[in-house]
Structure 1
Amino acid sequence: MNEQLKKVLAISLVLLGAAATAFAHCQIPCGIYGDETRFTLMREHVATIEKSIKEIDRIGKESKPDNNQLVRWVMNKDSHADELAEIVTFYFMAQRVKPVPEDMKADYAKYVNKITLLHQILVVSMKAKQTTDLELCTQLRTLIDQFEKSYTAK
């Protein structure tokens, strides 16, 4: 391989790595990311999981299923379930929902409710990786709505 091609390849890999990092949410509470955007993204991930499940079911019913497409849709579904779990874990649970002392009864009850809803979202998103049950998408939407209502309540 000539030197110029090696340089172009090396620069491309560095830029690709930087671009991937730029789209990921860091674990430093920088304040750049907004809650509304996270809720929108969570709902988009659920919509994509739902579309993937429908495509997996459709392809599975074909007389000659396209296994390549089937694998792509499964990977897509799983990837979006993971991204949903990442928002729940690294954005909300680790940064935004702050622990509250138990002696602050009313605030503690709200905290427990938020953490419980986030845990339920996490569990259902992982179940979505294990099956093609569309009911899980309905559950996710309901849980996200409940969490948003609890999270944004004053």
Structure 2
Amino acid sequence: MKKLIIATAAFLIATAGGLHGHCQMPCGIYHDDMVYDLIDQYVETMHKAISELKMIKFDTVQDKNQFIRWIMQKEKMSDDVSDLIMKYFLQQKIKPDEQDTAEKVVSAHKLLFLAVCMKQVPELKTLYEFMEEWKKFKHMFHREGYSCKIEEIKLKKWEQEAAEMKKQEAEEKAKAAASTKQEEKAKPVGNSFELKEPSKS
């Protein structure tokens, strides 16, 4: 018995660094709202990190130091989000035999994909896509009464920024299409431009 206790203690010490927020036991003390709050905070931190990375100028050693630290923080938040989605939702909350299982799995995969995209390309556009999908994902678990813990003013501001970004992209696409159309009209016929005869008066 003594050897068993020692062996168990040694195992716990050796694996302590790999333990996460949820023990994956049916303990009933880990709630959806807690996970939602955690991911909301991760999203807020990633928004701050990406915004800071775009403003840092590299004029001083302190600037360079801060740049590296924000990258590390952004990477950690992305990993933490992915870890929660996989270990809490995919492994436990999403049951294999439910009617909307496929829809939930597809949405979870999109969140994981966007989390990696935010590591590779630090753009607010990707973060806004993640936020939009995350909002839909939460409601798949019948949590209509849940209120996001991120300050409402910030959330509203981010949604406005996302809408403005989409509008700007649409305008740029429209300009590009108009420019292409204009080039098509000005294309030469054979080796020269086609000229219309002047109308006789």
Q: Same fold (TM over 0.5)?
A: yes
- 1:90 is the counterpart of 2:87: yes
**What is the match of residue 79 of structure 1?**
76
Gaps of 5+ in 1: 1-13, 101-106
Task: Give the alignment partner of residue 125 of structure 2, picking from 135, 140, 143.
Answer: 135
Q: Residues 29 and 95 of structure 1 are in contact (CA less than 8 Å); yes or no, is this contact kept in structure 2?
A: no
Q: Which residue of 2 aligns with 1:26?
A: 23
Q: Distance in 2 between matches of 1:143 and 1:29?
A: 28
Residue pair 2:58, 2:64 contacting (<8 A) in 1 also: no
Give the aligned residue type for 1:88.
Answer: I
CA contact (8 A) 2:39 2:81 kept: yes
The one of 108, 116, 121 aligned to 1:126: 116
Q: Distance in 1 between matches of 2:89 and 2:33?
A: 12
The Cα offsets for residues 41-70 of structure 1, whole Å up to 9 and x where unpaired, read as 1111111011001111111x3444622111
Q: For structure 2, which runs of at least 5 residues remain unmatched after alignment?
A: 1-12, 145-201
Greater RCO (CA < 8 Å, at least 6 residues apart): 1
Structure 1 stretches of 4+ with a deviation exceeding 3 A read: 17-21, 61-65
Residue number in structure 1 paired with 2:137: 147
Give the total of aligned pairs. Answer: 130
Letter in 2 for 1:144: W
After superposition, where does 1:98-117 map in structure 2 within 5 Å? 98-100=95-97, 107-108=98-99, 110-117=100-107
More helix by share: 1
- RMSD after superposition: 2.3
Query: Normalization by structure 1: what TM-score?
Result: 0.75
Q: Distance in 1 between matches of 2:85 and 2:122?
A: 21
TM-score, with length taken from structure 2: 0.58
| Aligned-pair CA distance for 1:36 | 1.1
Q: Percent identity?
A: 29
**Deviations along 1:4-39, whole A, 9 cap, x unmatched?**
xxxxxxxxxx7xx96984x62223232211001111
